[in-house]
């Protein structure tokens, strides 16, 4: 099983990043504020590793620490190296460091690429092994619960279409590079407007002055492109263009547990995407609210460097606490998993902007009811029953929805509390300090206990 | 790849003793990159230095003027700090290998990037 899991990851993680790395080289993408903060809080002279550094976005955040980047993907590591970062190619499961050698580690958008629970645990334990006692580990993984998007299952394949990206890159009307980052923004909120089926609708609601508002603010479901405010002209043009081009790309395929297991065990190289038609992969129709063209987050990962991690850092000092994600909780319809500890009291706060928090809430409040309606509506239309999805052969889908050139990336999206639970139950050497939700990611900061390992 | 001794990876090859640290560095191409001297930063790195490994790497790289160990009051000794600054931060191995002293397994360094990936056989559980 482990070998097969590795094969799945090779095909739908490693090979994809390797092939798509050249397209990410040019794109500048900024760091998630909360991750930046974690790095900046480390003591000067610390030895920090970014396990899954991608093209090295976080490696230069803090010049007072010695940062090492590690990634499985050679081409991405080369990009980081060309930026002057100290990097190496290695495997998260076999870190080439001695025990207790590192002062801090970040793992941003990496663990969700491991296809079995056991491998995810191993990855975390391996990072714990190389931490000094008292050293901290920050982990970000893509959340299953998204405000305006719905993952049917936890194991999904997400397409990435390089042709689209190239088209965007060459479009002269584009406002610089930022637009190209949009399609790759894996998770946060790019809900397709359920009314007009536009892939991306931005309703800025006055959030544009916030650092990453454009990218990550939850959109009120049901708004149309027409509602885009004038504040962000760039985004206007971009989203209009996106609306035309991207519609067909916003879907993700779900693998239910049995399917995933079959797929893992099959270990069959798929020459082209038609191969999927023969497998029992559940395919979500394009109108489904999955807007995943890239990796989560940001940062991301072993991979992490990709178009999706474009964060606008105009106001990077704001929002230093975990934003509560009440919408996500509501989505779970009362499934409040109490074990996720919130840091809502703002331990990380330094002059937190409370008005932003209230804006956040307003968003949520406003967005929630329609979001629910949207989900329900989509469900009715698109028949999310997994059986029917599995029977949709690839060929019968509308043209344009499936591009044989699209790369499919595997993700295990995490449920609320899952990451926390994983550490608590399986990684005794780590003590969880805080956990929360940040822009559609579940995040945890943990500390290596003394006298362990 | 900079030869920060604690940076020197330990191969995670199964069957190789407890963490076979440190690896032996061999270099066929080395570059010296000027890096702005930050005495505070260097001073903070000193406690982390594994001196035996550092000296071995320095020897391999034919570096001269490498302190043999921390000296009394090093935090304020500019000469000492500058020497450490040079060896820790300005030396860059572009091509070479890292070798596990126990198994002999070689890891390549190319274009400044060490590749520490293990083969499937080496990672078999």
Residues A254-264: tens digit of each pLDDT: 665 666 667 66
Name which of A73, A96, A102 to mutate to probe chain B: the one with the most chain B Cβ atoms within 10 A of its Cβ. Answer: A96
| Pick from A133-142, A393-402, A444-453: least confident | A393-402
Name which of A56, A83, A88 to mutate to probe chain B: the one with the most chain B Cβ atoms within 10 A of its Cβ. Answer: A88
| Pick from A1-5, A15-19, A244-248: least confident | A244-248
Q: Alpha-carbon distance A315 to A317, whole Å? A: 6
Residue B68 lies in a domain: yes
Q: Alpha-carbon distance A158 to B23, whole Å? A: 39
Report residue A122's pLDDT band, with 50, 70 and 90 as the boundaries: very high
A433 or A227, higher pLDDT: A433
Which residues in chain B are contacts of A98 at CB distance < 8 A? 6, 10, 19, 21-22
Report residue A163's pLDDT band, with 50, 70 and 90 as the boundaries: low
pLDDT for A185? 40
- CA-nearest residue to B120 within chain A is A3
pLDDT for A147? 85
ipTM of the complex: 0.91
A55 or A228, higher pLDDT: A55
Residue B98 lies in a domain: yes
Q: Is B32 on the interface with A (CB under 8 A)?
A: no
Q: Is B37 on the interface with A (CB under 8 A)?
A: no
Domain that holds residue B85: 3-114
Beta-carbon separation of A47 and B7 below 8 A: yes
Tell whether pTM > 0.90.
no
Task: Identify which of B91, B53, B66, B19 has the alpha carbon closest to the alpha carbon of residue A86.
Answer: B91
Q: A56 in the Ramachandran plot: left (φ > 0), alpha (ψ -120 to 50) or beta?
A: left
Tens of pLDDT, residue by residue over A358-390, are 333 333 333 333 333 333 333 333 333 333 333
Q: Alpha-carbon distance A259 to A410, whole Å? A: 13
Residue B124 lies in a domain: no
What tokens appear for A139 in the block?
């982990």
Range A269-297 average pLDDT: 38
Report residue A433's pLDDT band, with 50, 70 and 90 as the boundaries: very high
Beta-carbon separation of B10 and A96 below 8 A: yes
Q: Alpha-carbon distance A338 to A264, whole Å? A: 33
Residue B120 lies in a domain: no
pLDDT for B16? 47
pLDDT for B118? 86
Which residues in chain B are contacts of A87 at CB distance < 8 A? 113
Tens of pLDDT, residue by residue over A75-112, are 999 999 999 999 999 999 999 888 888 999 999 999 99
Q: Kindly report the average pLDDT of chain A as a whole number.
A: 63
| Pick from A120-124, A128-132, A203-207, A411-415: least confident | A203-207
| Pick from A16-30, A197-211, A434-448: least confident | A197-211
Res. A253: pLDDT tops 70: no
What tokens appear for A21 in the block?
């790395």
Report residue B6's pLDDT band, with 50, 70 and 90 as the boundaries: low
pLDDT for A426? 97
Residue B105 lies in a domain: yes
- Which residue in the block uniquely carries the two structure tokens 């396990």? A51
CA distances from A357 to A74, A192, A223, A312, B8 (A): 40, 25, 22, 18, 44
Based on the number of CB atoms within 10 Å of its own CB, is B104 exposed (0-12), middle (13-18) or buried (19 or more)? exposed
- CA-nearest residue to A62 within chain B is B41
C-alpha dihedral, A297 to A301 to A305 to A311, nearest 10°? 30
Residue B93 lies in a domain: yes
CB-CB contact of A140 with A441 (8 Å): yes
Residue B80 lies in a domain: yes
Which residues in chain A are contacts of B85 at CB distance < 8 A? none
Tens of pLDDT, residue by residue over A26-82, are 444 557 899 999 999 999 999 999 999 999 999 999 999 999 999 999 999 999 999
Residue B104 lies in a domain: yes
A418 or A148, higher pLDDT: A418
Range A192-205 average pLDDT: 31
Res. B28: pLDDT tops 50: yes
Which residues in chain B are contacts of A47 at CB distance < 8 A? 6-7, 48
Number of domain units in chain B:
1
CATH code of the domain containing B27: 2.20.25.10
- Which residue in the block uniquely carries the two structure tokens 């995810």? A120
Which runs of E-coded beta strand occur in B1-123? 24-32, 91-99, 106-110, 113-114
The percent of residues above 70 in pLDDT, for chain A, comes to 44
pLDDT for A294? 38
The percent of residues above 90 in pLDDT, for chain B, comes to 46
pLDDT for A93? 94
pLDDT for B10? 64
pLDDT for B51? 84
Beta-carbon separation of A47 and B6 below 8 A: yes
pLDDT for B11? 59
Task: Identify which of A280, A232, A235, A287 has the alpha carbon closest to the alpha carbon of residue A255.
Answer: A280
CA distance B37 to chain A (A): 12
pLDDT for A242? 42
Pick B112's closest partner by Cβ from A6, A64, A81: A81
Q: Alpha-carbon distance A202 to A192, whole Å? A: 10
pLDDT for A111? 97
Beta-carbon separation of B107 and A45 below 8 A: no
Tens of pLDDT, residue by residue over A382-416, are 333 333 333 333 333 444 444 445 688 899 999 99
- Tell me the pairing of strands A282-283 and B91-99: unpaired
Beta-carbon separation of A91 and B43 below 8 A: no
CA distance B64 to chain A (A): 23
Range B28-38 average pLDDT: 93
Beta-carbon separation of B116 and A86 below 8 A: no
Window A:42-101, CB contacts with B under 8 Å: 43-45, 47, 64, 66, 68, 72, 74, 77-78, 81, 86-91, 93-99, 101
Beta-carbon separation of A91 and B11 below 8 A: no
């Amino acid at each position: 099983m482990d070998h097969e899991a590795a094969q799945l990851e090779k095909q739908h993680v490693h090979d994809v990043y390797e092939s798509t790395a050249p397209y990410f080289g040019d794109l500048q993408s900024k760091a998630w504020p909360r991750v930046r903060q974690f790095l900046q809080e480390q003591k000067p002279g610390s030895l920090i590793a970014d396990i899954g550094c991608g093209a090295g976005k976080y490696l230069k955040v803090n010049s007072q620490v010695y940062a090492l980047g590690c990634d499985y993907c050679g081409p991405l590591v080369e990009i980081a190296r060309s930026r002057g970062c100290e990097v190496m190619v290695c495997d998260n499961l076999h870190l080439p460091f001695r025990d207790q050698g590192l002062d801090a580690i970040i793992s941003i958008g990496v663990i969700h690429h491991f296809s079995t629970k056991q491998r995810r645990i191993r990855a975390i334990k391996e990072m714990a092994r190389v931490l000094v006692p008292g050293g901290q580990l920050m982990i970000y993984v893509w959340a299953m619960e998204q405000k305006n998007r719905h993952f049917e299952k936890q194991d999904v394949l997400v397409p990435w279409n390089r042709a689209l990206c190239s088209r965007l890159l060459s479009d002269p009307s584009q406002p610089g590079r930022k637009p190209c980052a949009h399609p790759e923004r894996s998770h946060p909120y790019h809900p397709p407007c359920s009314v007009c089926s536009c892939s991306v609708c931005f309703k800025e609601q006055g959030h544009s002055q916030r650092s990453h508002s454009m990218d990550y603010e939850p959109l009120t479901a049901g708004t149309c492109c027409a509602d885009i405010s004038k504040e962000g002209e760039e985004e206007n043009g971009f989203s209009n263009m996106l609306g035309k081009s991207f519609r067909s790309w916003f879907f993700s395929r779900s693998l239910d547990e049995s399917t995933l297991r079959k797929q893992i065990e099959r270990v069959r190289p798929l020459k082209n995407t038609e191969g999927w038609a023969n497998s029992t992969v559940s395919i979500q129709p394009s109108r489904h609210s999955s807007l995943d063209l890239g990796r989560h987050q940001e940062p991301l990962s072993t991979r992490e460097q990709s178009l999706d991690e474009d964060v606008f850092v105009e106001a990077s000092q704001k929002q230093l606490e975990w934003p509560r994600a009440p919408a996500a909780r509501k989505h779970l319809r009362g499934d409040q998993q109490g074990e996720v500890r919130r840091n809502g009291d703002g331990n990380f706060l330094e002059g937190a902007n409370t008005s932003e928090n209230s804006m956040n809430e307003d968003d949520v409040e406003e967005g929630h009811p329609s979001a629910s309606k949207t989900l329900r509506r989509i469900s009715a239309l698109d028949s999310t029953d997994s059986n029917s999805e599995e029977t949709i052969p690839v060929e019968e889908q509308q043209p344009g929805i499936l591009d044989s050139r699209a790369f499919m990336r595997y993700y295990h999206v995490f449920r609320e509390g899952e990451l926390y639970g994983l550490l608590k139950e399986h990684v005794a050497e780590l003590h969880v300090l805080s956990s929360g939700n940040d822009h559609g990611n579940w995040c945890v900061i943990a500390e290596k206990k003394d006298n362990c390992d | 790849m900079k030869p920060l001794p604690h940076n020197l990876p330990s191969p995670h090859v199964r069957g190789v003793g407890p963490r076979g640290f440190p690896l032996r560095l061999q270099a066929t191409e080395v570059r010296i990159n000027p890096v702005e001297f930050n005495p505070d930063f260097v001073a903070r790195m000193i406690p982390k230095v594994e001196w035996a490994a550092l000296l071995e790497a320095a020897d391999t790289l034919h570096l001269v003027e490498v302190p043999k160990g921390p000296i009394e009051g090093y935090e304020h000794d500019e000469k000492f700090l500058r020497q450490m600054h040079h060896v820790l931060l300005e030396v860059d191995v572009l091509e070479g290998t890292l070798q596990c002293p126990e198994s002999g397994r070689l890891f390549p360094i190319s274009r400044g990037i060490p590749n520490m990936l293990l083969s499937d056989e080496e990672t078999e559980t």
